[in-house]
Each structure stands twice: as C-alpha cells, then as structure tokens.
Amino acid sequence: MTATVPPTPSDSPIPEQAGRVELPPGTVLTDNRFVNDDLLPVPLARRRWTTYNFAALWVGMAHNIPSWLLASGLVALGMDWKQAVFTIALANVIVLAPMLLTGHAGPKYGIPFPVLARASFGLRGANLPALIRAGVACAWFGIQTWIGGQGIFVLLGKLFGGWAEASEVGGQPWTLWVCFVLFWALELAIIYRGMEALRRFENWAAPFVIVGALVLLVWIANKAGGLGPLLDQPSRLGWGADFWPVFFPSLMGMIAFWSTLSLNIPDFTRFGAGQRAQVWGQTLGLPTTMTLFALLSVFVTSGSQAVYGAAVWDPVALAARTDNVFGLLFALVTVLVATISVNIAANVVSPAYDLANLAPRLINFRTGALVTGVVGVLIMPWKLTETPELYIFTWLGLVGGLLGTVAGILIADYWLIRRTVLDLPALYTPGGRYWYTSGWNLRAVAAFVVGGVLAVGGSHSAPGKGPFPEDGLIPFLKPLADYGWAVGLGASLVVYVGLTAGRRRT
C-alpha cells in the first residue's frame, strides 16, 4: 500500500496548528511493511472529538459488568463499602496520570499507540508492546463476551421456561452457546462500521447504563427496607493488620484494570480536537464515573448480603432473582448495552491497530477487529472471573505488571527524553531516526525485561487459589508482586532513562 498526502513541495515544514502536527504536504510513504491508511496520522480536519465525546467514552467503558465485579469483589473479599470505594477511587486517580501522559501524543500527532511505540522500541520493536497489549485485549474480549452471553442466557432463562435445561454441547446448554455467538457477532458488526460509529454509540450508551445501575440500586434498597442495611454491613478486615495485605494487591489490581488503556489511549485521543478535550474529557470521565459505579456496586452488593444472607457479586445473577418481566427485559437490555459499550472500545480497537502494525500490507483496522474476535473466543479466558482472588490478584496483577512496564518506557521516551517532540515521517520510514538496530531499540527491550521481571517475577498464589507457586516464581521477588504495576512502571522508566540519557538519538 502507498500512503499519499496531496502533492505540494516535499521540503515543506511539518504543518502545525495550535500544537497539533500532521505530515508535511506532499509526503509519500511507500513502505507497506510499516504503513497503511489506518496507521497514518489522522488529518487535522478529522480530529474533532470533544470533551463530551471523551467523557462519554469513559462513562460507557467504566459502566460494565467486570467493573461492577471489581467493586463487589472487594466487598466479597471482606472490605466494607467505604474501604472498597476508597480503593477504587484512589486507583483511578493514580492511573489517570499515565493515561493523560501517553494520551498527549494523540491530539498532537494523530498517531495510534503502536506508532507511538515505534519512537521508543523501534519500527519493528514496537510489535513487542503492541502484541502484549493485543493479547491482553483478546483475553478481555473473551471475558466480556462470555459475561455478556451468560447475562443474556440467564435473563432469557427467567423469561422462557426450560431455556436453561436445553441439551448440552461442550458441557454447556446449546442455548448458552447461541446467546454467546449472537452477542459476539453483534459486537463485531458495530466495530466493523469504524470509529465514528463507535463515537455515536458511546454517546447514547453512557447515560443509558447509568440509569440501569440506578434502577438496580433502587430495587435492592427497596427489598432491603431502605439504604440503611446497605451501609451497615461491617468490614471483616478492619483497618489493621488484616486490611493492608488485601488493600495493596487490590489497589494494584484496580490500577491494572485500566492500565490497558493507559497504553493505547492514543488510539482514541488521535481523534481529539485538542489537548484540552482529551485532558478534561478523561479527567471528568474516568475517576468520577468509576467511583460512582463503585458506590452503586458496593451498595447493591451490600444490599444483597442484607437481603439474601450472602453477597451476590454478579449483577446478572442478582437481577435474575426478580420475577418482574419488565425488570428482566430492562436488565437484559442494560447488560447488552453495557457490555458492548466497553468491549468494542477497550478490547477491539487496540488489537485492531496492534495487528495492523504487525502486518500493514495484510491487515487493516477491520481485519484486525475480526482477528481479535476469533482469538478472543479461542482463548476462552472467562474462567478468570470465577473467584475474586483469581480475577483481582492473579489476572489483573499479572497484566498490570507487564503493562506498567511498557507504560514506563513510553512515558520516559516521550516526555523525559524527547520532550514530546517526534519526527512524524520517520515513524513510518525504515532506516531513519527510529530504526535503531535493524528496527529494534535494544535499550527499550532491556528496560522492558528488567521492569517485567521485577514486576511479575514474584507472582504467587495461595494454595488452590491460582497457577503460581505459593513462594512465588522467583521467591526473593515475592514482596514486590503486590505492587506489580508501580514496580514495573518505575523500574522500566528509571532503567530506560539511565540507558538512554546523554546518548545521541538516531
């Protein structure tokens, strides 16, 4: 593929408008190993996402079933509602910082995450962080799609008698597989229409899901006899020695939940009308909505404990306890909208670009989205949500450590080494400034290895609670495992700056 900008003299300076840059007029990028239309910078005229668009994106992504499981899972682990909300609010304020730092390159240069990663890892080396991010997204896509399909299955089972007693295929009722496949196809149909369709969908999905969560709160409060019983459930951990061993890995798990987007947020901010839009949109959208949703989640979960004698941390299972047909239908639509909203934005957009970066001549955005959908099903990672220990400590802890390591390198390179100045054409040109050693920046790779080993090398599981040894993969690193995201980000940033500062950038 040859990517061409309308021809004018090729030695023209790079156009810049209010801190936003696009390719010089007349630039012709001919190497289809690194270029296709989806990876090219978004022209200034098409960068028009506003503060509301970014805020609505985050509202739509934050209000979903796995987000609910985070907060209610903390209650299930023994926290009271104040401890759970505090943990989630703090985590999202912390993760907002790298989100805004990496998001800066989007409105300024109009480039997606894998192209930004070329500046630090090299044109070929960028595939390392891109494929890690894509693999995580594919797993999340499988989790979200299975949860959405299960939600439809459970709620339809309440509406149609005998639905759950259908004959089994592969250990599950065939009706469950039908729900899963139909939901999977609906998601891919929406994302196949492109980013503009996603923006429009998020604009109306966001307020709808908020209403759905509030309806669930009103229902459980009514059954509990008011809000009082929802707030009276005591902490089983207290604030002493039993609390902190749960708090810190939980905090890292909460951060890890959105550490995925702290890498590939340029995939969205590249469409931003300016820095103000992405900064205010994300600041208003992420910490506030996640905290609000956490409040709703822990209130409802605490209410379920008061009503049923045990915390029901799955909102679908809780909604299925009603016999009201209208309530079931409303819950069904809410589950559909909430899950689609986050899955296509958080778990399909990124790997679509990441896979396109791997083989631009063969894979475009739409093809990458379809590959993501297929891989997400083949991985079958939905078992990760079976228990809060496995979901929060094992899955999110491991993911957070690796993605924090990549974030540290990106932030160090873009902000500390380059001071936000990039050579835009060179990001697509082999043999140029970002070619390094045959397309790989070995300093970035070294920083990634060091940060990654420190972040996840001590990963451990309680007996029978996960896949890791009780003493950790590398026992002397076990004390660091509960702080994986922070350790990975800090270690890789320091190592990268140490290896790179003062050297001639070529």
- Joined together, the tokens standing for residue 403 give 């993605």
Distances (CA, A) of 329 to 148, 157, 165, 335: 14, 11, 20, 10
Instruction: Report the share of the chain in percent with pLDDT over 90.
Output: 27
Q: Which residues contact 494 (CB under 8 A, 6 or more apart)?
A: none
C-alpha to C-alpha distance for 111 and 109, rounded to whole angstroms: 6
In this predicted model, what pLDDT tens digit does every residue of 324-356 receive, in sequence order? Answer: 777 777 777 777 777 787 777 778 878 888 888
CA angle, 337 then 343 then 256, to 5°: 125
pLDDT attached to residue 174: 87
Alpha helices in 4-112 (DSSP H): 51-62, 65-76, 81-103, 105-109
pLDDT attached to residue 4: 36
Cβ–Cβ < 8 Å for 276, 52: no
What does the pLDDT average to over 410-433?
94
Nearest to 183 by CA among 67, 335, 372: 335
Q: Which residue has the higher pLDDT, 224 or 100?
A: 100
Q: Which residues contact 183 (CB under 8 A, 6 or more apart)?
A: 145, 148, 149, 152, 336, 339
Is the predicted pLDDT of residue 389 greater than 50, yes or no? Answer: yes
The pTM (predicted TM-score) of the whole model is 0.82
Is the predicted pLDDT of residue 84 greater than 80, yes or no? Answer: yes
Confidence category of residue 18, pLDDT binned at 50, 70, 90: low
Supply the mean pLDDT for the chain.
81
Q: Are strands 20-21 and 16-17 parallel, antiparallel or unpaired?
A: antiparallel
In the chain, count of helices (H) and strands (E)? 20, 6
Q: Which of 83-87, 205-209, 342-346 has the highest mean pLDDT?
A: 83-87
Confidence category of residue 2, pLDDT binned at 50, 70, 90: very low
